[in-house]
Structure 1
Amino acid sequence: MIEPSPPWPGARPLDDHFFDRDAQQVARELLGKVIRHRQGDLWLSARIIETEAYYAAEKGSHASLGYTFKRRALFLPGGHIYMYYARGGDSLNFSAEGPGNAVLIKSGHPWQDAVSGPQSLALMQRNNPDATGAPRPLARLCAGQTLLCRALGLKVPSWDAERFNWQRLFVEDCGIRPERIIQTTRLGIPAGRDEHLPYRFVDAEYAACCTRNPLRRGQVENRDYRILEACA
């Protein structure tokens, strides 16, 4: 099989083997990785700071409702893209090892480098203005699964059940490893649907920029969350 060409010299896209592993492992190790999406001539980029793991065998997952054509990506090998509408916005997930298992990309933080510079950031802000039409602060631009997709220009019809395309959309290892990872319960899981499972992972450095800060006032370590060792 011919390997796909990297989008630029030195790029380090994650391959399918990265995703074809246990969903919690993938969710933890995606923290610090960078989503790259090409929109026109610009690469829009966000560092992943919050993820959630889902398994077919637990009630919080879409896969627990059974196979449908719309949910087919969840049952495909690791590295397939599963997108759906959440509260009217687009939501990005990647399939993991085992039918029905996946990782939700819950939040990101704008990423700038030689590939994604000020013009890319400006387009992300135009994609996702606040309610008044003004640019969102960087800390809130991708602070939620639908805000992330809006800022990056990711749409369900374009990417659901697709594979990564290194010329258009992929996740890159830019050599970042979070120093501390917070493990806690997922958000928005209805009562009685395994809401107690600690399958949410947050880069502690960016806890204040994620969907809901797990270190907010009133939260107690080893009761509401725990700190994991840094990724190797």
Structure 2
Amino acid sequence: MDLLGCILVSELPEGLCSGVIVETEAYRPEDPACHAYRGATMRNRTMFGPPGLAYVYLSYGVHSLLNVVCGGAGVGSAVLIRAISPLEGVGAMRLRRGRASDLCNGPGRLAEALGIDLSFDGHDLTSGERLYVSPGPPPGGEIVSTTRIGITRGAELPWRYLVLGERVSIPPRKIACRGLRRRWTVTESA
């Protein structure tokens, strides 16, 4: 939830693209839907790294999905970035996606629009280089939690967070908790 309102930036040769994160989904090691549930493997080893790394994997062998590692080293937890609201580089996003609409309202769509592929697995998202997350103000809309989507195990857990009123992957059917707030705010430096 703390990533909502942050800016996801991709600086690739095709140009700079960015967007406000408006939907996320959490995965923890005790969660049967989490890739780390059964321990570290070659596929999920990045999830066990330090916070701030990109964990990128292929979904159904087709779509790259971007996660932000969020647990301490050795823990195995991450947050899936499910949707962003585009800010910059919409033309480049349209070229990559081959369409004018539905650019970033889904984890596979946003990865394609921003040029995110498996080569970014293990990339430091705090580096400010190529692909990174930068602080942003808290979202203007209400933050809510709902059950997760697109999975069969652990789907009942209310670990999907989104900003109401934003274009997200799938609108929530039932809201588990309303009026949530990020634990931190961006402060201006003196």
Q: Note whether the superposition's TM-score is higher than 0.5.
A: yes
Distance between the aligned counterparts of 1:177 and 1:167, measured in 2?
24
What TM-score does the superposition give when structure 1 sets the normalisation length? Answer: 0.72
SS of equivalent to 2:165: helix
> 2:139 touches 2:163 (CA, 8 Å); kept in 1?
no
Which residue identity lines up with residue 203 of structure 1 in the other structure?
A: V
Gaps of 5+ in 2: 186-190
Gaps of 5+ in 1: 1-27, 113-119, 130-134
Which residue identity lines up with residue 162 of structure 1 in the other structure?
A: H
Q: CA RMSD in A?
A: 1.6
Matched, 1:154 2:116: yes
Query: Deviation at 1:45?
Result: 0.6
Partner of 1:39: 12
2:94 aligns with one of 106, 122, 125: 125
Partner of 1:90: 64
SS of equivalent to 2:37: helix
> 1:143 touches 1:210 (CA, 8 Å); kept in 2?
yes
Which residue identity lines up with residue 182 of structure 1 in the other structure?
A: V
Matched, 1:142 2:100: no
What TM-score does the superposition give when structure 2 sets the normalisation length? Answer: 0.87
SS of equivalent to 1:29: coil
Query: Deviation at 1:63?
Result: 0.5
| Rg larger in structure | 1
Query: Deviation at 1:43?
Result: 1.2
Partner of 1:61: 34
Query: Deviation at 1:175?
Result: 2.5
Distance between the aligned counterparts of 2:104 and 2:30, measured in 1?
30
Matched, 1:211 2:169: yes
Q: CA 1:52–1:100 in structure 2 vs 1: closer, same or farther (change >3 Å)? A: same
Query: Deviation at 1:106?
Result: 0.8
Which residue identity lines up with residue 124 of structure 2 in the other structure?
A: R
Q: Percent identity?
A: 30
More helix by share: 1
Which residue identity lines up with residue 69 of structure 2 in the other structure?
A: S
SS of equivalent to 1:122: helix
Which residue identity lines up with residue 33 of structure 2 in the other structure?
A: G
Which residue identity lines up with residue 104 of structure 1 in the other structure?
A: L
Which residue identity lines up with residue 137 of structure 2 in the other structure?
A: G
Deviations 1:159-211 (A, max 9, x none): 11222331311111233434311101111221xx22211000011130xx111
List 4+ stretches of structure 1 deviating above 6 A. Answer: none
Deviations 1:8-33 (A, max 9, x none): xxxxxxxxxxxxxxxxxxxx111111
